Structures are given as structure tokens and as C-alpha cells.
């Protein structure tokens, strides 16, 4: 049910008055020195109108809210500010003015004021224009004005977005949280040398470990902290320990490579880069490629088959362990069986040491005839050829971009998207070359190299050489599929559970 009476007014409770504040304004101070000036005339008309509404409980507040010599183009007026303060304090029920433009000449400001009044349950009346939010016609007029005001706000927002987009296209900083490695001086990003060194260290650590969590742990071990931000109020935030999202936000930020991002597009920034672009693009490739990154950074790296070991039911085999009489036994177990029970998959857990040694022997078998070593040497040659072709294509694309001045934004954006894709492709090939060269070097003398490798690098090598390992518990076999198709599939073996490990395996 409405809280207004048949005249459209909020009814006063019995014996309660509706307090009316009269607001008057004049743009210039000329004539205000007269004994009876225009502000007095406005107030007199408003007082007569309020007296005509005495039956509805209206009464005039004695306090004067007069702004003489203040424009209506904005709301920076002393008496108006005092009126808003009294309104918020609950001292006013109705605001009465001579004409609407006495309150504001700006449609947007007027709409904001009306919204503020509505929030506090205060009505508004213009006595000479039959405009009152206390009646149906006035509320209809107000809704129309608010619609135009909303349109104006949307136009302002659209112009602001266009302005930001234009600035970003020119590589200019448009505000926001200042990234680690930079300070803002005269609205421009300037390199902070001490922080920039930390940014480079972070990228180097990630490409060394290829794991965000390993990078987080190393940064915190070294006592590195996140960027400190000081607000205008003096409050300081940041300067704490690193976490995964903080590391990822830096690794993913193209600002560090001298780009200025806008949406999905990258533009050449006017600020100085902290890292080179090839390094940045290679980082994105590693971030996007789980086989290169590997799972060992977040779990125990001793489980070197994680990520490639599968159950015959199609699920992954995950790591687990148990301890008996002070001895730890490692094993792999089916994820489906763990989560849904033995009814969905009957595969038993398999001792980790046995399956890992079995896979290593199969790799030795594949290396015995030198076909795998030869295949990786050929692969390096093919990768280099692809890098040369991609570099030539990127050079041609850069020339197109240089000649695109005056082209439509869509044409330039299309070229920039292609340029970004090409940069990522070259970085992907570079990472492939680095990984393939490392694998080729290790497998040249596999027996000696394997003994020297850390658990992390053992897992890295297996994920590079082995495409997939499938455990079939029903048949007691293991299929090892090598990454290079030229080597084919390696034969399966018998049951892998050795006598000395059976005691530590829970069936």
C-alpha cells in the first residue's frame, strides 16, 4: 500500500508537522544589498505556498538557506551544502523553491539531488512550475528527467571509455594500481630500479622452476616482499609475503615488456620496459603449457611419473604414501577409485619405486638403438626452420603495422592481434628449442645423466620423452607411449609389485 494520501503527499502523523525548508539562489550578487532583494521575493512566494498547505501539516522552518552570487551550474554552494547536511540529519521533510533552476541548472546534478532526496524520504516542490514530487504528475516529470539524466551519464561514460582507449593506443598510462617496478611521476610510469630488479628476479625464478608455487616459496625464503602502496590518508598496504596470485599477476602483466594493454590488444607503451619481450612471451608459453611446467612444483617432486601415469579406466594415477615400522612406502593410486570406490575401478595401488624403475628401463631400451637420440637431433633442426619462417613472418607483419598509419582502428587492431599471436608462436618455438636441446643433451649419456638429475628434472625429462603411461591392473601390464611417434610403442611388462614392497601396499 502506498504511503501517500489522495493528494499524493506523505501523510503526517496526527499532530505532526511537515517541516519545509525554503531554498533561494541568485547567480550574481548585484542588487543583494537592497532592503528587499530577489532572494526575499523568492522566499515570500514560497512561504505563501506553504501556508496554503497548512491543512496537510506543512510548516516553514525559520532557518534561511540563501545562496546569493552563486551559479547553478554546480552544487558547490554554502547554503545548499548546509541544507543537505540538515536533510541528512533528519531536520527537513520538504524542500521548497521558487523555480527548479534555483536548485540546479545541470540536469545531471538535478537528477543526483532528486535521487539523494528520495533516499532520505524528502519531497521537492517548485511553487511556480507546478512541479512537486509529492504528486503523480511531478513524479512522472521527474522520471522523464531521470531518463534524460541516465542518457547523459551513459554518454559521459562512453566518452570516458573512448578517451581511455585512445590514450592506451598511444601507449599512455591511464591510472590504476601502480605495478611493482614502477612509480608514477607526472602521470607517467617511471622505472623504480630497486623494484625492477625484483621483477627480473621473479621472472628468472619462474623460468628456472617452471612453477608458481616454487617461485613463491623461493621469493619468501629470500625475504622478498610485495609492493608497498601508501594511500593519501597515510595508510600503507602491501609489503607482505608473496602468494600465487601475486606472482601470476606479475608474470601475466605485459607492462613489464613495454606494452600497454587495452582489452585483449597490446600497444607499444611510452614507458621503459623492465624485461625484454622475448622473455615475456616465453613466460606466457610456459604458463600456458602444463606439460612444460609440470606438476612437480606443487607436489612432492619424488613422484616423477605424475602427469603422465594413467589408469586403464582413463583416470590419472595420483601420488600417495604410507608408513610402516618407520619406513615410508610410496605408491600411485587411481583417482576414480579414491573418489568413487572400488565399484567404479578395481585397480589396486601400485608401488612407486617399481613402476618408476620399469619406465626408466623402457626409456633405456628406446635409447639403445640411438633412434630416439637421432629423432631429437632432427627435431631441433625442424624447430630452427620453423623459428626462421616465423621470424620472417613477424618482420613482414611489423612492416605492415608501420605502414598502417591512417588505417581504421579495426584494421590496426587486427594486425596487432596477429602480431601478438606471432610473438607467442615464436616464444613457443624458442621454449621448444630449449627443452628439446636439454633433452637431447641428457639422453646422449642417459645412464650417467640420470644419476645426476634432481627429482624435479627427472620428472621434467620423463614428461618430455614419454607421452603417456597406461596401467592395466587386470592384465598386469604397463604400456609406455613415447612422445616421438617415430619410436612407436614399447612392449608391456609383467606385474610390477616386488616382494619387498608388498608389505607396504594397502590393497
* HEC readout, 28-61: CCCCCCCCCCHHHHHHHHHHHHHHHCHHHCEEEC
Give domain status of residue 451, yes or no.
yes
Pick from 359, 340, 328, 351: nearest CA to 446: 359
The domain tally of the chain equals: 3
CA dist., res. 469 & res. 305, Å (int): 8
Give domain status of residue 249, yes or no.
yes
Give domain status of residue 4, yes or no.
no
Examine the domain organization and report whether 390 and 253 are in the same domain: no
Query: Across-strand partners of 322?
Result: 329
Examine the domain organization and report whether 284 and 349 are in the same domain: no
Structure confidence at residue 496 (pLDDT): 45
Examine the domain organization and report whether 333 and 224 are in the same domain: no
Element (H, E) at 339: helix 335-340
**End-of-domain residue from the set 134, 151, 168:** 151
Report pTM: 0.55
Structure confidence at residue 83 (pLDDT): 95
Give domain status of residue 295, yes or no.
no
Structure confidence at residue 146 (pLDDT): 60
Examine the domain organization and report whether 265 and 328 are in the same domain: no
CA dist., res. 161 & res. 442, Å (int): 53
Element (H, E) at 429: helix 409-444
User: Is the Cβ–Cβ distance between 179 and 255 less than 8 Å?
Assistant: yes
Examine the domain organization and report whether 147 and 191 are in the same domain: no
Element (H, E) at 467: strand 466-472
Which residue ranges of the chain lie beneath pLDDT 70? Answer: 1-15, 134-135, 137-139, 141-143, 145-150, 152-153, 231-234, 290-299, 405-407, 409, 484-507
Structure confidence at residue 349 (pLDDT): 86
Sign of the Cα torsion 133, 135, 136, 138 reads: negative
- Residue 404 burial class via C-beta count within 10 angstroms: exposed 0-12, middle 13-18, buried 19 and up: middle
Give domain status of residue 385, yes or no.
yes
Give domain status of residue 89, yes or no.
yes
- List for the chain the helix, strand, coil content (%; round to 5): 50, 15, 35
Examine the domain organization and report whether 250 and 322 are in the same domain: no
Indicate the Cα dihedral angle 437, 438, 440, 444, nearest 10°.
Answer: 140
Instruction: Give the pairing type, strands 94-97 and 123-126.
Output: parallel
Examine the domain organization and report whether 219 and 313 are in the same domain: no
Examine the domain organization and report whether 487 and 424 are in the same domain: yes
Q: Domain with 77 in it: what CATH number? A: 3.40.50.1390
Q: What is the DSSP letter of 344?
A: T
Examine the domain organization and report whether 143 and 201 are in the same domain: no
For residue 326 the three cell numbers come to 618407520
Examine the domain organization and report whether 271 and 404 are in the same domain: no
Sign of the Cα torsion 139, 142, 148, 152 reads: negative
CA dist., res. 308 & res. 287, Å (int): 18
Give domain status of residue 430, yes or no.
yes
φ, ψ for residue 421 (rounded to 5)? -60, -40
Instruction: For residue 56, give its domain range.
Output: 18-151
Give domain status of residue 376, yes or no.
yes
- Residue 105 burial class via C-beta count within 10 angstroms: exposed 0-12, middle 13-18, buried 19 and up: middle
Examine the domain organization and report whether 471 and 419 are in the same domain: yes
> What length does the chain have?
507
Structure confidence at residue 266 (pLDDT): 84
Q: Which residues of 78-104 are buried (b: 16+ CB within 10 A; e: fewer)?
A: ebbebbbebbeeeebbbbbbbebebbb
Examine the domain organization and report whether 482 and 353 are in the same domain: yes
Structure confidence at residue 500 (pLDDT): 40
Amino acid at each position: 500500500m502506498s504511503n501517500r494520501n489522495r493528494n499524493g503527499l506523505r501523510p503526517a502523523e496526527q499532530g505532526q508537522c511537515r517541516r519545509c525548508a525554503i531554498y533561494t539562489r541568485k547567480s550574481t550578487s548585484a542588487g543583494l544589498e537592497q532592503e528587499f532583494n530577489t532572494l526575499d521575493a523568492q522566499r515570500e512566494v514560497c512561504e505563501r505556498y506553504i501556508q496554503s498547505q497548512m491543512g496537510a501539516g506543512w510548516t516553514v522552518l525559520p532557518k534561511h538557506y540563501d545562496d546569493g552570487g552563486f551559479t547553478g551550474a554546480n552544487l558547490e554552494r554554502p547554503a545548499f551544502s548546509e541544507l543537505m547536511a540538515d536533510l541528512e540529519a533528519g531536520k527537513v521533510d520538504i524542500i521548497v523553491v521558487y523555480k527548479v533552476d534555483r536548485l540546479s541548472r545541470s540536469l545531471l546534478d538535478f537528477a543526483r539531488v532528486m535521487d539523494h532526496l528520495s533516499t532520505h524520504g524528502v519531497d521537492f516542490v517548485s511553487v511556480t512550475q507546478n512541479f512537486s514530487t509529492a504528486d503523480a504528475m511531478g513524479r512522472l516529470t521527474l522520471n522523464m528527467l531521470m531518463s534524460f539524466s541516465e542518457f547523459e551519464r551513459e554518454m559521459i561514460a562512453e566518452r570516458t571509455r573512448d578517451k581511455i582507449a585512445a590514450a592506451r593506443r598511444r601507449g599512455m598510462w591511464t591510472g590504476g594500481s601502480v605495478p611493482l617496478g614502477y612509480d608514477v611521476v607526472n602521470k607517467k610510469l617511471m622505472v623504480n630500479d630497486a623494484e625492477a630488479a625484483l621483477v627480473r628476479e621473479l621472472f628468472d625464478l619462474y623460468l628456472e622452476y617452471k612453477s608458481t608455487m616454487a617461485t613463491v616459496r623461493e621469493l619468501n625464503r629470500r625475504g622478498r616482499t610485495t609492493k608497498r602502496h601508501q594511500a593519501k590518508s597515510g595508510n600503507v598496504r602491501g609489503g607482505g609475503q608473496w602468494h600465487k596470485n601475486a606472482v601470476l599477476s606479475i608474470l601475466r602483466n605485459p607492462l613489464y615488456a613495454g606494452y600497454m594493454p587495452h582489452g585483449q590488444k597490446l600497444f607499444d607503451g611510452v614507458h621503459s620496459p623492465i624485461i625484454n619481450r622475448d622473455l615475456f612471451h616465453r613466460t606466457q608459453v610456459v604458463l600456458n603449457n602444463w606439460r612444460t611446467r609440470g606438476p612437480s612444483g606443487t607436489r612432492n617432486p619424488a613422484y616423477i611419473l605424475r602427469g603422465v601415469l594413467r589408469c586403464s579406466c582413463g583416470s590419472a594415477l595420483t601420488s600417495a604414501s604410507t608408513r610402516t615400522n618407520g619406513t615410508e612406502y610410496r605408491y600411485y593410486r587411481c583417482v576414480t577409485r579414491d573418489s568413487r570406490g572400488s565399484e567404479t575401478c578395481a585397480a589396486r595401488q601400485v608401488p612407486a619405486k617399481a613402476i618408476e624403475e620399469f619406465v626408466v628401463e623402457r626409456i633405456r631400451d628406446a635409447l639403445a638403438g640411438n633412434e630416439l637420440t637421432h629423432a631429437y637431433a632432427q627435431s631441433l633442426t625442424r624447430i630452427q626452420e620453423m623459428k626462421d619462417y616465423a621470424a620472417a613472418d613477424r618482420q613482414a607483419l611489423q612492416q605492415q603495422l608501420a605502414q598502417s598509419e591512417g588505417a581504421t582502428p579495426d584494421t590496426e587492431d587486427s594486425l596487432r592481434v596477429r602480431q601478438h599471436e606471432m610473438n607467442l608462436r615464436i616464444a613457443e618455438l624458442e621454449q621448444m628449442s630449449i627443452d628439446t636441446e636439454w633433452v637431447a643433451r641428457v639422453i646422449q649419456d642417459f645412464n650417467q645423466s640420470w644419476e645426476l638429475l634432481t627429482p624435479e628434472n627427472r620428472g621434467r625429462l620423463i614428461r618430455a620423452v614419454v607421452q603417456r603411461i597406461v596401467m592395466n591392473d587386470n592384465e598386469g601390464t604397463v604400456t609406455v607411449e613415447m612422445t616421438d611417434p617415430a619410436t612407436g610403442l614399447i612392449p608391456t611388462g609383467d606385474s610390477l609389485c616386488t616382494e619387498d614392497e608388498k608389505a607396504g601396499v594397502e590393497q
